[in-house]
Amino acid sequence: RKRCIRISTGSKQLDAALNGGFQTMSLNEVYGEFRCGKTQLAHTMAVIAQLPKEMGGAEGKVAYIDTEGTFRPERIMEIAERFGVDPDQACENIAYARAQNTEMQAELLDGLAASFATNEYRLLIIDSVMSLYRTDYVGRGELSERQQVLGQFLRRATQMAEEFNLVVLMAHTSPNDSTNQVMSDPGASALFAGVDGRKPAGGHILAHASTTRLLLRKGRGEERVAKIVDSPDCPEREATYIITTGGIND
């Protein structure tokens, strides 16, 4: 019988706000403006997921679907050193794949089922989940098709999270201001309604699919702020964190 496990984020404050971290068997969305640490969180959790449970890990391997080419093995190695694990081993435990379009993104997900069936994997990262849908389906005319294809992808991801006892961590960049180009993308408003942390409008397909949503923003100085939005088992609350050489920290 599968038992739900929580994986730490690297920040004690953020873990506390999440009742111990992100849960397996769930889809989790991390969103917010550029450079607020979504990719850094993904790298940090890719290492922590491998650690013993006493250290916030899940003793598992990690699958990493990268749509923007922002994965950096050197960062994994630096984060591994923080936690006292072998940097090469940490990299070897991450199955990395670069997706160039939405079709490939969906194929990669399907292709991972065989690996996940070994029961060695506990974390699936998709960074970013939305960017290729935005470039493959441009304009208002393609919005309904985009929603449909994205919906299929998210349903498959949800199913895999449950079947294979995985934390699915999906990042996507969303603007905090109206000058961002995403908002001038016709049709994007339906997908990105609620980016400021309010409840999303009906039709926000990604928000509906996600179990826990984390909205990140820049705080004072080096500080970053994470706000938990729409979680089934956590109240809406905020936690601060910083980005260090060793990854996300307090």
Tokens of 64: 């990493």
> Which residues make up the interface to ligand ATP (CB under 6 A)?
34-40, 173, 243-245
Q: Exposure string (b/e) for 105-143, b if CB count within 10 Å is 16 or more?
A: bbebbeebeeebeeeebbbbbbbbbbbbbbeebeeeeeb
Q: Is the dihedral of CA 209, 72, 49, 82 positive or negative?
A: negative
**Binding to Mg ion by residue 212, rule CB under 5 A?**
no
Of 13 and 70, the one with the shorter C-beta distance to Mg ion is: 70
- Sequence length of the chain is 250
Segment interacting with Mg ion (CB under 5 A) among 37-45, 85-93, 117-125, 238-246: 37-45
Compute the distance between CA of residue 202 and CA of residue 236 in angstroms, rounded to an integer: 20
Tokens of 16: 């506390």
Q: Which of 169, 160, 170 is nearest to 2 (CA)?
A: 160
Of 147 and 173, the one with the shorter C-beta distance to ligand ATP is: 173
CB 77 within 8 A of CB 90: yes
| Residue 240, contacted partner among Mg ion, ligand ATP, none, CB below 5-8 A by kind | none
Of 34 and 86, the one with the shorter C-beta distance to ligand ATP is: 34
Q: How many residues bind Mg ion (CB under 5 A)?
A: 3
**Binding to Mg ion by residue 44, rule CB under 5 A?**
no
Of 7 and 243, the one with the shorter C-beta distance to ligand ATP is: 243
Of 75 and 204, the one with the shorter C-beta distance to ligand ATP is: 75
| Residue 115, contacted partner among Mg ion, ligand ATP, none, CB below 5-8 A by kind | none
**Binding to Mg ion by residue 24, rule CB under 5 A?**
no
**Binding to Mg ion by residue 93, rule CB under 5 A?**
no
Of 69 and 221, the one with the shorter C-beta distance to Mg ion is: 69
CB of 10 to ligand ATP, least distance (A): 12
Say what angle helices 102-111 and 143-163 make with each other, to 10 degrees: 20
| Residue 245, contacted partner among Mg ion, ligand ATP, none, CB below 5-8 A by kind | ligand ATP
CB of 187 to Mg ion, least distance (A): 23
Task: Count CA atoms closer than 13 A to 247's CA, side-chain side.
Answer: 28
Q: Which residues contact 216 (CB under 8 A, 6 or more apart)?
A: 30, 31, 32, 33, 36, 37, 38, 41, 224, 225, 226, 227
Task: Count CA atoms closer than 13 A to 177's CA, side-chain side.
Answer: 5
CB of 240 to ligand ATP, least distance (A): 15
**Binding to Mg ion by residue 131, rule CB under 5 A?**
no
Judged by the rule CB under 5 A, the positions of this chain that interact with Mg ion are 38-39, 70
